[in-house]
Structure formats: C-alpha cells, structure tokens
Amino acid sequence: MDIETKIQSLQEMIEELNLDLLDDSIVKSNQLPFLYKEQLYRVKMPKQKDLTIAKSIEDKLKIQLLRDSNSITKKALIKVLKENQGIDILELNETKDKYTNRLKDLYMELATTSDKESKRINNLKNSINEVKSNHMQVSIEISDLLSPSIEHQVETAYIKYLTTVCTEKNIEDNQWELAWKDYETFENDDTNLPNLANLCFTRLFLTLRN
C-alpha cells in the first residue's frame, strides 16, 4: 500500500469515527465512545496498574527481540536501509526540516497580513496546507520504513495492550464489559474492531506518554 492510499484510508477511518466532533463529550470526560456495526463501545484512560503492566510487557518484548537475530534496532535499520537500498533516513529528516523552515517563513508572512488582503491570505494558506501535507507524507514514509525496528514493535505492543484493557462494550444502559477478555483474544480478532479501538485509544491518549 503506498503512502497516499494509507493516508486516505486513515482519513476515512477518522471520518467514520467523527460522530459529532462538535459535541463536547470528546473533552468532558476521559472516555471516548465509538460505534462499530451499530454496537456502542468506549475507550477509557488506563489506570496506573494498566500502565505498569504495559511497561513490563514492553520491556520483556524488547529483551526478547534484542536476543532474536532476526530483529533489528532502529539505528541498525537506518544503516541497512542506506547500505542495501540506498534509502537515506537522515536525508528524509533533513527534507522534513526544510518543510518546517518553509512553514515558519510562510507563517511570518501570513501573521502580518490584514483582514482586507483576502487574496494574499488565501494564497498563503494554500501554500501552508501544501507544505504541511508534504511534511506529513515524509513523516509517514519515515515511520513506515522504520516500522520493522524493535523500538516500533515494542511501542505497538504497549499501545495494543492498553487498547485491550481500556476498550469496553456497552451491554445495557450503563453497563459495560471488556470488549476482549485478554490480549490474545484481541490479537486473534480478525475484524476491523481492534484497529478502530486502537485508533480511538491513540486519539484519547494522544501524546501523554511523551
């Protein structure tokens, strides 16, 4: 799947989730409801205990992968990509930096326009959107290239575990039960529900980890 198709499918999933984003329920509580095949689900924030278990799962997996000769660290993968396929991640990062600098220049121009200059404002806004989109494409490309790395795999396992323990299915009015009884059931679920729940949980959790 190429980058553009990936972005499109991600956008489609996000649109599917946007029941009514102007509804302030997305911020009023620390839970996020979503529908899947007309069934109501919700993701909630993890408890301290969940975070501790997720961290230990992440650490165990990291040690296991570091011992496995078929696994590769991010640093080594960057080297392999450059030597074997001529793909330079550092160069791609420089391209990203160039887009960031271009964006800053455009921001400086746009910030000093008055409301009357509508044509100039629109042109600058179009250029900003274009630069942002190019920046996002390069970011996705880098993330895609580095996805086989150990670091990426352990991060994915961390989020997947938290998604498993934080996704609940509505039974009755105010009764909820876990959507999957354990991590293995989540992993074996071949519907689109795990992906949707994962996306919802990532939206709710956002950058809290960093």
Q: Which residues bind another protein (CB under 8 A)?
A: 14, 18, 21-22, 24, 26-32, 45, 47, 104, 106-115, 121, 124-125, 128-129, 203-208
Give least dist CB 154 to another protein, A. 20
Could you give the CA distance from residue 86 to residue 78 in angstroms, rounded to a whole number? 10
Cα 97–chain centre separation: 21
- Among candidates 162, 126, 145, which has minimal Cα distance to 51? 162
**Residue placing its CB nearer to another protein in the complex, 53 or 106:** 106
**Long-range pairs for 75-81 at CB < 8 Å and ≥24 separation?**
77/145, 77/146, 77/148, 77/149, 78/146, 81/145
**Residue placing its CB nearer to another protein in the complex, 90 or 206:** 206
**Residue placing its CB nearer to another protein in the complex, 10 or 63:** 10
**Residue placing its CB nearer to another protein in the complex, 112 or 191:** 112
Give least dist CB 24 to another protein, A. 6
**Residue placing its CB nearer to another protein in the complex, 173 or 190:** 173
Give least dist CB 112 to another protein, A. 6
Helix axes 193-205, 150-166, angle to 10 degrees: 100
The amino acid occupying position 58 is: E
Give least dist CB 110 to another protein, A. 4
Looking at the DSSP bridge assignments, the partners of residue 177 are 169
Could you give the CA distance from residue 58 to residue 64 in angstroms, rounded to a whole number? 10
Give least dist CB 170 to another protein, A. 18
